Amino acid sequence: MGERVTVVEVGPRDGLQNEGTVVPSEVKVAFVEALARSGLQVVETTAFVSPRAIPQLADGATVLSSVRRRPGVRYPVLVPNAKGLERALAAGAREIAVFTAASETFNRRNVNASIEESFERFAPVLARARAERIAARGYVSCAFGCPYEGAIDPRAVAEVAARLLLAGCSEVSLGDTIGVGVPTQVPEMVGRTVEAGVPLGALALHLHDTRGTALANVAEGLRQGIRIFDSSAGGFGGCPYAPGAAGNVATEDLVWLVEGMGFETGVDLELLVDATEGVARALGRVPPSRVYHAVKAARERPAAPSSN
Ligand code: HMG
Ligand code: MG
């Protein structure tokens, strides 16, 4: 059996937060359940952010509390502050994710705070999570570049990542929020982040695919020893504060690549495509994923004649 790669499915959160169509809560619940059924072991289920900032996820409490949870599957939720944590706990959250950025300007637009202020906000959130024995992951947005500031120094990325770990996060995900990254950025970013104190096993990549470079960055991430990748079913996603950014690398494409390279994900592609199909119908959108379409096309082709 190949070495394990953990896929962190962010479709129900990142995938839906920037869509023009607000998906009904019951469709979201069915989506999360179908994703877990496909073998995904981590499904970021929703966000408890301001409903004014992200109306698409205003029903986070309904969604999280309605999902029938599968044993062994984790259902983290995005939390920006103490109020978000209260709401998340009340809805039954057992794992959270906090988020900041390596770019001051992006962080200000996204959460109306400097990077420093965002750490001040996390302190009580992470302390409470620890007291409740709830795991927390931390995101570093704009790790590969910023829509407002342009190039970002990998040393700044490493510093923010290490601070998240020190603050109490057990995993840190480096985000290419706007999908500008290229593989030659990966070794230095990963190397500096590990040097700054984040163990390789606690480091994830979160790659949006605006310019078609996400899978190339995954392949380089694998070479550098990364074994946790975030992705979104069908490839939906984006952030309203990252104008023009496309969705995350599609889970179907990620699974195809890493399994083809000899790793195990535990994901059943056929069941994953079914999960994507349901939400794509509700969104009225064709999924950007390439592998999704390849799987569908293969289903429609007549079976090859057998040789005997
Ligand atoms: P603010 O306006 O500075 O906050 O927003 P505030 O504390 O002054 O509160 C303003 C109002 O919001 C108040 O209501 C609060 O009660 C309410 P009012 O008194 O005016 O009626 N409020 C809340 N309501 C519900 N849940 C909450 C909450 N907090 C405050 N948790 C804030 C600051 C952080 C709240 C806001 O800017 C916000 O929610 N931002 C979230 C933006 C967001 O979700 N962005 C997308 C996710 S991040 C992302 O996509 C990147 C990632 O994928 C990685 C990558 O790709 O790089 C993770
Ligand atoms: Mg994202």
pLDDT at residue 241 in the model: 87
Annotated catalytic residue 239: yes
Closest residue by Cα to residue 78 from 88, 68, 63, 65: 88
pLDDT at residue 69 in the model: 98
Q: Is residue 188 part of a domain?
A: yes
Q: Is residue 199 part of a domain?
A: yes
pLDDT at residue 238 in the model: 80
Q: Is residue 50 part of a domain?
A: yes
Closest residue by Cα to residue 63 from 48, 74, 42, 85: 48
Distance CA 164, CA 187 (A): 20
Residue 177 near ligand 1, beta carbon < 6 Å: yes
Which atom of ligand 1 is found nearest the CA of 141?
57
Residue 107 near ligand 1, beta carbon < 6 Å: no
CB distance 202 to 167 below 8 Å:
no
Q: Which residues contact 203 (CB under 8 A, 6 or more apart)?
A: 161, 171, 172, 173, 174, 190, 193, 194, 226, 228
Domain count, the chain: 1
CB distance 213 to 179 below 8 Å:
yes
Which atom of ligand 1 is found nearest the CA of 239?
50
pLDDT at residue 239 in the model: 83
Tell me which residue has its CA closest to atom 13 in ligand 1. Answer: 50
Please choose from 17, 49, 125 the residue to mutate so as to test ligand 1's pocket, defined by most ligand atoms within 8 A of CB: 49
Per-residue HEC secondary structure of the chain comes to CCCECEEEECHHHHHCCCCCCCCCHHHHHHHHHHHHHCCCCEECCEECCCCCCCHHHCCHHHHHHHCCCCCCCECCEECCCHHHHHHHHHCCCCEEEEEEECCHHHHHHHHCCCHHHHHHHHHHHHHHHHHCCCEEEEEEECCCCECCCECCCHHHHHHHHHHHHHHCCCEEEEEECCCCCCHHHHHHHHHHHHHCCCCHHHEEEEEECCCCCHHHHHHHHHHCCCCEEEEEHHHCCCCCCCCCCCCECEHHHHHHHHHHCCCECCCCHHHHHHHHHHHHHHHCCCCCCHHHHHHHHHHHCCCCCCCC
pLDDT digits (tens), the chain, 308 positions: 799 999 999 999 999 999 999 999 999 999 999 999 999 999 999 999 999 999 999 999 999 999 999 999 999 999 999 999 999 999 999 999 999 999 999 999 999 999 999 999 999 999 999 999 999 999 999 999 999 999 999 999 999 999 999 999 999 999 999 999 999 999 999 999 999 999 999 999 999 999 999 999 999 999 999 999 999 999 998 888 888 889 999 999 999 999 999 999 999 999 999 999 999 999 999 999 999 999 999 999 887 776 65
Cβ neighbourhood burial of 117 (10 Å; 0-12, 13-18, 19+): middle
User: Is this structure's pTM higher than 0.75?
Assistant: yes
Residue 147 near ligand 1, beta carbon < 6 Å: no
Range(s) of the domain holding residue 36: 6-300
Q: Which residues pair with 43 in a beta bridge?
A: 9
- What is the 145 CA–ligand 2 centroid distance (Å)? 13
Residue 229 near ligand 1, beta carbon < 6 Å: no
Tell me which residue has its CA closest to atom 23 in ligand 1. Answer: 50
Q: Is residue 306 part of a domain?
A: no
Write the CATH number for 187: 3.20.20.70
Which atom of ligand 1 is found nearest the CA of 18?
46
Residue 84 near ligand 1, beta carbon < 6 Å: yes
Q: Which residues contact 151 (CB under 8 A, 6 or more apart)?
A: 145
Residue 88 near ligand 1, beta carbon < 6 Å: no
Residue 247 near ligand 1, beta carbon < 6 Å: no
CB distance 202 to 170 below 8 Å:
yes
Closest residue by Cα to residue 233 from 183, 295, 169: 295
- What is the 1 CA–ligand 1 centroid distance (Å)? 43
Neighbouring C-alpha atoms within 13 Å toward the C-beta of 213: 19
Which atom of ligand 1 is found nearest the CA of 81?
31
Q: Which residues contact 11 (CB under 8 A, 6 or more apart)?
A: 31, 35, 43, 231, 232, 233, 234, 236, 237, 248, 251, 276, 279
Residue in the block written with tokens 């104008």: 243
pLDDT at residue 307 in the model: 61
Tell me which residue has its CA closest to atom 34 in ligand 1. Answer: 111
